[in-house]
């Protein structure tokens, strides 16, 4: 074997454990899901193997699924926007702080040490009828009766923001931290105000981080089902809840497979668009 061919093979040999894991844990299950989506559920709940397009026809033509999908994308978009508005100043503050950056980053990561479900349920103790906010309001005599604040679309978005905000802050922070601060000084020395320097220098340079954080928040937000389950009202369902119901409640794995692939296709298309125009490098930096 020549040296060249051995060198050409080395990266693949080194990558083979990771590639095997991805193939076995991602592509093979996806293949199963794809096959399942062409099967049918019988009346007894058993699966009927074969090649049927019924599930796909239903998933793609039924306005019920389309409407819930659009609502899911709307909730994810609002969540992403709120995360961006709240996360950018926080990331800017951390990036520009001196000395205590590590502590601030540690504080940012702290919520990840607590279960996502517990964090979501904590809002019941904060916003519930017997929760902290209502206790303060009634104790101060601001309201006579507790206000009903939970179990609506707003609390679903609130729960999602709570869950996703650290992802946004981290991505923007990585982007801001890589910007040479002397650029702002240079802009100031050329007559720009601090606000102008931020708008015309810092913000444009940090946009890749903002976009990467936005993509993560959107994709993770659109795929969630726990938050609407815990904090949503009777009609506040997202698309992942439909997948859950098809597979768990109705035991209709074939339809659930088609629906999950549909969501995957929509979110995958967004990732591809992002990659086409911004590239995945920034996302990797944020995740790293």
Partner 1 sequence: MTRKMDDTTRYERLRERYLNGDLDRRGFLGLLGAAGLAYGVQTPFAKYARAAAEQVRFDGWGGVVSEAFREYAFDPYTAATGVNVVDGTFGGADEYISRVKASQPGEFNIAHLSGVFDYVRYHNLELSSELNEDNIPNLANVIPALVDVLRKPTGGTLSAVPYDYGTTGLAYNRKHISDDEMKEKGAMLLIDEALKGKIGGWGEWKTRIWYAALQTGQDPNGIEDMDAVWDAIRTHRDIALKYWGSGAELMSLLAEEEIYVTEAWSGRVKALQDQGHDIGYYDPPGGLGWQECLFVLRGSPMPECEELLNFMLSPETSIAVAEGQNYPPALDPNKVELTEKVKALPAFDPTGTLAGLNFFDPPYWNGNEAEWSKTFGRVQKGY
Chain contacts with partner 1 (rule: CB under 8 A): 41, 43-46, 64, 68, 124, 128-130, 148, 150-151, 229, 233-235, 237, 242, 245-253
Contacts of 65 (CB under 8 A, 6+ apart): 58, 59, 239, 242, 259, 262
Shortest gap between Cβ of 161 and partner 1 (angstroms)?
21
Nearer to partner 1, 124 or 266 (CB): 124
Nearer to partner 1, 58 or 177 (CB): 58
Shortest gap between Cβ of 25 and partner 1 (angstroms)?
15
Question: Cβ atoms within 10 A of the Cβ of 201, count?
Answer: 19
Question: Cβ atoms within 10 A of the Cβ of 30, count?
Answer: 14
Residue 170 structure tokens: 């981290």
Radius of gyration over alpha carbons of the chain, in Å?
A: 24
Shortest gap between Cβ of 16 and partner 1 (angstroms)?
17
Shortest gap between Cβ of 63 and partner 1 (angstroms)?
9
The dihedral formed by the CA atoms of 245, 248, 249 and 255, expressed in degrees to the nearest 10: 60
- The interaxial angle of helices 253-277 and 54-61, nearest 10 deg, is 60
Nearest CA-CA partner of 272 in 215, 234, 205, 228: 215
Sign of the torsion angle spanned by Cα atoms 112, 116, 119, 120: positive
Nearer to partner 1, 24 or 272 (CB): 24
* 92 touches 197 (CB < 8 A): no
Shortest gap between Cβ of 281 and partner 1 (angstroms)?
38
Residue 220 structure tokens: 């993770």
Nearer to partner 1, 173 or 225 (CB): 225
Residue 69 structure tokens: 């999908």
Nearer to partner 1, 77 or 124 (CB): 124
Nearer to partner 1, 115 or 182 (CB): 115
Shortest gap between Cβ of 45 and partner 1 (angstroms)?
6
Q: CA-based angle 107:219:152, to the nearest 5?
A: 80
Shortest gap between Cβ of 57 and partner 1 (angstroms)?
15
Nearer to partner 1, 146 or 223 (CB): 146
């Amino acid at each position: 074997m020549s040296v060249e061919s051995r060198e050409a093979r080395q990266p693949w040999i080194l990558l083979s454990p990771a590639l095997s894991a991805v193939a076995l844990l991602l592509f093979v299950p996806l293949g199963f899901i794809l096959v399942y989506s062409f099967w049918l559920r019988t009346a007894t709940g058993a699966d009927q193997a074969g090649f049927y397009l019924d599930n796909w026809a239903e998933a793609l033509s039924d306005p019920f699924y389309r409407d819930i999908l659009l609502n899911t994308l709307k909730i994810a978009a609002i969540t992403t926007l709120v995360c961006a508005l709240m996360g950018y100043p926080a990331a800017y503050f951390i990036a520009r702080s001196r000395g205590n950056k590590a502590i601030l980053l540690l504080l940012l990561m702290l919520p990840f040490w607590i279960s996502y479900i517990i964090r979501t349920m904590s809002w019941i103790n904060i916003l519930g009828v017997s929760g902290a906010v209502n206790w303060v309001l009634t104790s101060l005599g601001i309201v006579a009766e507790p206000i009903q604040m939970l179990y609506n679309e707003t609390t679903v978005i609130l729960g999602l923001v709570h869950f996703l905000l650290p992802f946004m802050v981290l991505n923007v922070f990585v982007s801001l931290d890589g910007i040479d601060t002397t650029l702002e000084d240079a802009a100031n020395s050329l007559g720009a105000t601090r606000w102008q320097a931020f708008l015309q220098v810092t913000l444009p340079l940090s946009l890749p981080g903002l976009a990467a954080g936005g993509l993560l928040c959107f994709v993770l937000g659109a795929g969630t089902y726990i938050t609407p389950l815990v904090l949503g009202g009777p009609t506040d369902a997202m698309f992942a809840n439909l997948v859950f119901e098809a597979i768990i409640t109705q035991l209709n794995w074939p339809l659930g497979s088609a629906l999950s692939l549909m969501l995957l296709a929509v979110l995958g298309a967004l990732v591809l668009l992002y990659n086409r125009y911004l590239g995945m490098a920034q996302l990797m930096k944020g995740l790293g």
